[in-house]
Structure 1
Amino acid sequence: MIRSAILVLAMLASAPVALSAQSETMLNTPSVESWNVYGAGQTHKLRKDDNVQGGGAMRIDVAKAQANVWDVGASTPISGAIAKGDRLVVAFWARLESGGTGGSAEIPTILQVASPPYAPIVAGSVTLGGEWKLVSITGTAAADHAAGSTNVALQLGGAAQKIDLGPAFVMKLAK
């Protein structure tokens, strides 16, 4: 599975800006505009950035570390269905503009059910630095999930930091 994920990520990194969301493996529509940012103690705005795939980023400025890492976050919807046993990749472009801890930021990343209790389907964390990087987590679904019932959630409240998010990609790998 890791080899397949690496190949898919390599394709994304070299893909043209208009990556087709009609791909058989794509479960979402990759777009920087689809990030939903939430929580007190943050500001966010879309900005132009020619250094990331798609040419735009969502800048999220967390003023100070929150009581809970999940108090500030960003999510993006997944429109496709997930079946038990699906091998999944969540990948997104991101960078730490400033702040974090020692020049980096550890970001909990969860593909989850999009309603309470927000049960995780695939979970992990990614490390961001100052350069744009395509980061990812992978895993296998333990249950079926209806189309439109899931999302990707990033927990951003762990430190005072400015983070730029590019488009996110959620894919099923071939079995």
Structure 2
Amino acid sequence: MIRIAVASAMAGLCFATPVLAQSAPAGGGLLDKAVNQPGTSWNFYGEKYKAKATQAPGIPGDEAVHVAVAAKGANPWDIGATSATVKPVQANDTMLLAVYLRAPDAAEGQTIDLPIGIGEAAAPYGVLAQDVAKVGPSWKLYYAAGRAGRAYAPGAIRATVQLAGAKQVVELGPVFLLDMGAAQDPAKLPHN
């Protein structure tokens, strides 16, 4: 039930701002729980990659970021995409990451593994949630959910997609980091 609500809320978005700084329209419902700037509000780090805005018909906002990773890193996190919180998060709140991804060069039936999650933005880089997205050539919504062990100020946690696991091409669509509140059981949220 929550998976359908999340996908429906994400699919119903309409963006009109630039691809790397999109925001959700004002309104009610699930997107009121967003603690990041929903959309393709990605920031990148690392070396040996190229990122550019691209059209992505069929996903919210119809835009994505095309990332070409030139070489496998020593660690999967050597190149990554992040979206930081812009609102505070309370201790014990359940967090849900929902992100559109695809591997446009993958053959039908083939997938690439991308670690995704929610973590602290500074050392020691504690992890709130993590999962592996098995990303194929078609757009799909991927999830990671977990609980905040303490309160966090805006910018102290972020959504992450680790990109240095291989020489590869990945397209990152809109990212949504949702604070589902303390009463929500992370196990009952969508998962991959």
Which residue, 73, 77, 87 being the options, matches 2:80?
73
Residue 18 of structure 2 is matched in structure 1 by none
- Equivalent pair of 1:99/1:159 in contact (CA under 8 Å): no
Structure 1 alignment gaps of length 5 or more: none
Q: Secondary structure at the match of 1:8?
A: helix
Matched, 1:17 2:14: yes
1:86-128 CA-partner distances (Å, limit 9, x unpaired): 111100111011259x821111112111112221122222111
Distance 2:35 2:74 in 1: 33
What TM-score, normalized to structure 1? 0.87
Which one-letter code corresponds to 2:37 in the other structure? T
Which residue, 96, 105, 109 being the options, matches 2:116?
109
1:39-58 CA-partner distances (Å, limit 9, x unpaired): 11211111122232111111
Alignment of 1:54-69 (within 5 A): 54-69=61-76
Distance 1:95 1:116, change over 3 A: same
User: Looking at both structures, which has the greater relative contact order when contacts are Cα pairs under 8 Å and sequence separation is at least 6?
Assistant: 1
Which one-letter code corresponds to 1:10 in the other structure? A
1:18-76 CA-partner distances (Å, limit 9, x unpaired): 443664311111121x2112211211111122232111111110122221111111111
Q: Aligned Cα RMSD in Å? A: 2.0
Matched, 1:166 2:173: yes
Residue 36 of structure 2 is matched in structure 1 by 28
Distance 1:105 1:120 in 2: 22
- Equivalent pair of 2:113/2:134 in contact (CA under 8 Å): yes
Which residue, 120, 129, 148 being the options, matches 1:122?
129
Which one-letter code corresponds to 2:168 in the other structure? Q
What TM-score, normalized to structure 2? 0.80
Which one-letter code corresponds to 2:33 in the other structure? T
Q: Secondary structure at the match of 1:152?
A: strand
> If each structure's strand is expressed as a fraction of its own residues, which one has the higher value?
1
Structure 2 alignment gaps of length 5 or more: 16-23, 184-192
Q: How many residues align?
A: 170
Distance 1:58 1:50, change over 3 A: same
Q: Kindly, what percent of the aligned residue pairs are identical?
A: 26
Distance 2:59 2:11 in 1: 11
Matched, 1:8 2:5: yes
1:124-148 CA-partner distances (Å, limit 9, x unpaired): 2211100001111111111111122
